[in-house]
Amino acid sequence: MVKYVMVINLRLYKLIKLNGYTKSEMNALNEKKLITVNGKILNITSIINEDDIILVDNKRILMPKFHYFLYYKPKGIESTISDKKESYIKNINIDLKVMVAGRLDKESFGLMILSNDGDFINTIQTSDDYKKTYIVEFEKEINDSFLSGFDKEYIIRGRKTSKIYYEVINKNTLKLILNEGVYHEIRHITKLNGNRVTNLKRIKIGKYELGDMKEGEIKEVER
């Protein structure tokens, strides 16, 4: 069953952009007073409601429907869009233009979130409410010295890492929880502390969990 989420607190100019109008087209139509809400001329920064009747050049435009998907990215699939068969976009069956929250490198696997709601995707990337949880296996056994490395701050590609929370699963495996996650952060920190990642699986982003999903599976969820 398809799950729709109606946009709330949406501003008029953003709705017009979501319906395919460029900024220059929107400004030109606005100057000609060809944008109306319930028959009135409003400031294009006005917040609109679900049942408003919005006309642009005498054509009604509709509120967009946003979709949210969990994707179990398999190992060997890339998180970038390209013409290569390894690109995730070639391995999903969604008839929508979607963006990704929580990209994973090619050798990592697990949960990514896909949506046509750009604001939601940006929120996941920047908010502490969407912590990312991983199960990570290492080449060498874990010891106290290695664990202490996760308590330090690092600079990776000009960005400071935030605290990583860890739980020991067994002698070679940790559960790691990151607030945000800098580029290849877990692999970088592991290497700096004399070890190597052999398996990296993301199991959770915020409240969204991989659960019993199978590799390659995609599942639509409510926000």
**What architecture is domain 68-221?**
2-Layer Sandwich (3.30)
Residue ranges of the chain with per-residue pLDDT less than 50: 1-7
For 129, residues 6+ apart whose C-beta sits below 8 A from its C-beta are 123, 206
Return d(Cα 36, Cα 44) in angstroms, integer: 9
User: How far apart (Å, rounded) are the C-alpha atoms in residues 22 and 18?
Assistant: 9
Report the pLDDT value the prediction gives residue 40, as an integer from 0 to 100. Answer: 93
Superfamily of domain 5-65: RNA-binding S4 domain (3.10.290.10)
Q: Which distant-in-sequence residues (6+ apart) come within 8 Å of 98 by Cβ?
A: 67, 69, 114, 115, 116
pLDDT on residue 3: 42
pLDDT of residue 1: 34
SS3 at position 135:
strand
Residue 9: what pLDDT? 66
pLDDT for 115 equals 92
- Give the residue extent of every domain in the chain: 5-65, 68-221
3-state secondary structure 77-109: CECCCCCCCCEHHHCCCCCCCCEEECCCCCCCE
Q: Which residue has the tokens 């989420």?
A: 5
pTM assigned to the model: 0.77
Using CA atoms, how far apart are residues 214 and 50, in angstroms rounded to an integer?
Answer: 36
Fold match flag (5-65 vs 68-221): no
